[in-house]
Structure formats: structure tokens, C-alpha cells
Amino acid sequence: MLNRAPSQSTLARPSAALARRFNADAYLFGVWILLAVFTPAIGFVGVRGFAVLVGVCGLLCLPLARPRTAELGGLILVLLLVEWAVISAFWSPAPVPHSLKALGRFTGLHLAQQGLFCGGLIVTARTLTPATAGKALAWLGGGVMLLACVLLFESLTDAMLFRAGQSVLGEKPTTVAHWALRNVAQGGYVLAMLFWPVALALEAAGRRRLLAAFVVLCLADFILLHIAALIVALMASAAVFALVLWRRRAAALACGGLAMLLILATPWIMLGWAEGGLFQSLRVRLPPSWAARVDIWSFTSMQMTQKPLFGWGLDASRMFKGHIPLHPHDGPLQLWFELGLPGAVLGALLWGFVFWRFAEAAPARPRVAAAGCAVAAACLAIGAFSFGLWQEWWICLTALAFAACVVLGVRLYGPPEDAHA
């Protein structure tokens, strides 16, 4: 009995498991090729397409998503934030959907979908094999490099390709080069968010010349596109990257604490500046776009004080036309203004969770922890000046950047062995 040969079914189990593993790995690699191929196209034609691209890819990943215990904390925080946002819609001046068509445009429904699909993409990213992770990053890096080259060409030619494409498609061409370039410049945010995972992937592959070219291209694009938020995001993320790479876990935790503090305190600091006259004294010295932001921040922060506990409600920013153009151009301010104290606390906890996850990974996986914290810093820096808090494409692009950091971790250090990796 002790020397009995293994049964046929016993011998088949490893091979069947290996086949399932291979198929899942190949399937996810196909999803990442889809992301890599469409990222430069969407980054050039229209960044709003990231809501569709990441949403579809996240949906494709959902059947393979197996969240770990440590990841459930983040999913619960997202669920609570979305739930509170939906509840707040009942006292918001924005109309509550009363038809199926209106429900399809409801921000609360979109937030729930994004939490589900983006979560699926991020959770499954760690299940790739190291070899497949390297190939996925190579594809993604190639797409981002292509986008950087196109943006440089467009910035030097006043968006020649973009305006020619409008003519080919039969659309009314943007005759003023400045406005065409503003449309193209949105692709710079894609470069800013994917800069660190792509740069570290190139370094890990030994492509030093390509890495140098990529860095130079991104710097040139950020300068020539004339978007201050991109320069601020790059500087903030570089400082955070260096700090976390140096001090690892302690630095990541410190950055998380600072992020939470900024989310909770920034709107009230703005209120003090508005009431103290600092905003008004600065306004006359600022360019028109920044002067407009100062007006928006002053008005929104003062309105925030009328309902600080529960907020004005989801999408209330859209109802103050003439004072707030769709959103306040500051993430923490919009969070406080629309969702009040509970929303601000949940938002701060969610960002604290993100930094905590990278802090736990920092001792064993320092480079991916530094890249992840740098991506978070870039997102927070850009969100402090640009875009609405609930814009789908921006949330999805952020999720793609974090998923790329997870893939980078598998590429550099292999599959995670514990829940915190």
C-alpha cells in the first residue's frame, strides 16, 4: 500500500491547475494589451474614453477577482463613500433621478460601477506571473511612449494632427490653435499618472536610453503644454518617490498622514484666506484662469459653512451656475461642500488606506511602494487644481495607474507572498 503508484486523477490535478493558471494569465495579459493599445489613442483623441476603456477591462477582470482580507478594507471604504454620496442626493439641489434615462446619468450609479470595475482591475493585477507582468508593462510603456511623442509633435505644430483629424472625420475644425492644443494637452495627465510605473519598468528592463528619452519627452511635454498642474504633480511625486525610497515605511505613513490632513483642513484654510482678504489681494496678480479659481474657491468655501455637517448633497456644485462651473476645481473642497463631514472623513480614510497599503509593502518592495506613493501624490496634486471629484475618466485613469504599480511589483519582486505585499 505504501508503494502504490499515484492514480491517474492525482497525476492530472497539477496539470489541470497549471492549465487553468496559464489560461487565466494569458487572459489577463490580453486585457493589459487592450489597455496598452488604447491608452495612447484615447490620451490623444479624448481622455473621457478612459471611463469606457478601464470600465470594460475591469469588467473583464471581475470573474478572476479574489480580494484578500487586507484589500477588503479599501473596498468597504469605497462602498461607504458611495453609499453616503447616494444618500446625500436626497437633499441635494440637483434633481434625484425619477426615470430610467435619468438613472443612467446619475453620478451615484457611476461611482458604484467605477468602484466595482476599477477594483477588479487592481485586485487581479497581482495575479499575473512575473514574466507576463514584464510583458504587460512593456506594452503599456510602449503605448505611453508613443503618446509622449505625439504630444510633443502636437505642441510644436499647434495641434496639427488633431485639427487634421477633425477635418477627416467631418467635424468642424478648431480654427484657433490655442483651443485645439488645449484639447490635446489633456493627454499630459495620462503621462503624469503613468510616469512612475513606466519609468521603473524601463529601468528594470535595462532600457536606460529609453528611460532617459522617456523622461526628457515627458518634461518637454509638460513644459510646452503650459499646464501648471502637471509641473506641480511631477515635482510633488518626485519628492514623495525619493522620500519613500529613502525612509520607506515611515515616509509612506507620513505622506498618508499629510494627505489625510490636507483633505480635512484645506477647505477651511481656503475659507480663512477668503474671509481674511488674502484671496482678493492675490487675485489681481494672477492669470485669468487662476483668478477664476480663486473666485470659485472663495464662493464655495463660504457656502460650505452653511451645511458643514451633511453637505449640500451629491452634484450640488452643478447647481450654482455663475459661481461654480460644474465643480470647484479642488477635490477636498468639493468633498466637504457636497458630502460634508462624513464624506470628508471617509475620503481621508480612503487615501490613508492607500498610503498604508504601500507603507506595509515598503520594507520588502521599496521601489513599488515609492512608485505607488508617487502616483498618489500626483493624483492629489492634480486634483487640488483640476477636474471634478466624480469625473469618471479621472477616477479610471487613477485606477489604471495604481494597477500598473501592482503589476510593477510583480515584475520587480515576484508574486506577493502575504496579504500586505
pLDDT of 9 reads 43
C-alpha 138/C-alpha 198 separation (Å) is 8
CB 421 within 8 A of CB 365: yes
pLDDT of 168 reads 59
pLDDT of 102 reads 65
pLDDT of 387 reads 87
C-alpha 237/C-alpha 192 separation (Å) is 9
Taking the alpha carbons at both ends of the chain, their separation in whole angstroms is 43
CB 337 within 8 A of CB 319: no
- If we measure between CA atoms, which residue out of 342, 324, 402, 373 comes closest to residue 82? 342
C-alpha 146/C-alpha 140 separation (Å) is 10
Classify residue 357 by burial, with Cβ atoms within 10 Å: 0-12, 13-18, 19+.
buried
DSSP 142-159: HHHHHHHHHHHHHHHTTS
C-alpha 77/C-alpha 235 separation (Å) is 29
Q: What is the CA radius of gyration of the chain?
A: 23
C-alpha 333/C-alpha 25 separation (Å) is 42
DSSP state of 222: H
SS3 174: coil
CA dihedral 152, 153, 155, 161 (to 10 degrees): -130
Ordered per-residue pLDDT tens for the chain, 421 residues: 344 444 444 434 444 444 455 588 899 999 999 999 999 999 998 899 999 999 999 999 999 988 888 888 889 999 999 999 999 999 999 887 776 666 677 788 889 999 999 999 999 999 999 999 999 999 999 999 999 999 999 888 877 777 776 665 555 555 455 566 777 888 999 999 999 999 999 999 999 999 999 999 999 999 998 888 899 999 999 999 999 999 999 999 999 999 999 999 999 999 999 888 888 888 888 888 888 899 999 999 999 999 999 999 999 999 998 888 888 999 999 999 999 999 999 999 999 999 999 999 999 999 999 999 999 999 999 999 888 899 999 999 999 999 999 999 999 998 776 544 5
DSSP state of 2: T
pLDDT of 84 reads 95
CB 397 within 8 A of CB 189: yes
Count the neighbouring beta carbons within 10 Å of the beta carbon of residue 287. 9
pLDDT of 190 reads 96
SS3 291: helix
C-alpha 148/C-alpha 132 separation (Å) is 24
Task: Give the CA angle between residues 125, 126, 128 to the nearest 5°.
Answer: 80
CB 255 within 8 A of CB 377: yes
DSSP 108-130: HHHHHHHHHHHHHHHHHHTTS-H
Consecutive H or E run containing 406? helix 392-413
The alpha carbon of 8 is separated from its chain's Cα centroid by a whole number of angstroms, namely 49
Task: Give the CA angle between residues 408, 412, 418 to the nearest 5°.
Answer: 85
Q: Cell match 528611460: residue?
A: 211
Count the neighbouring beta carbons within 10 Å of the beta carbon of residue 1. 3
SS3 225: coil
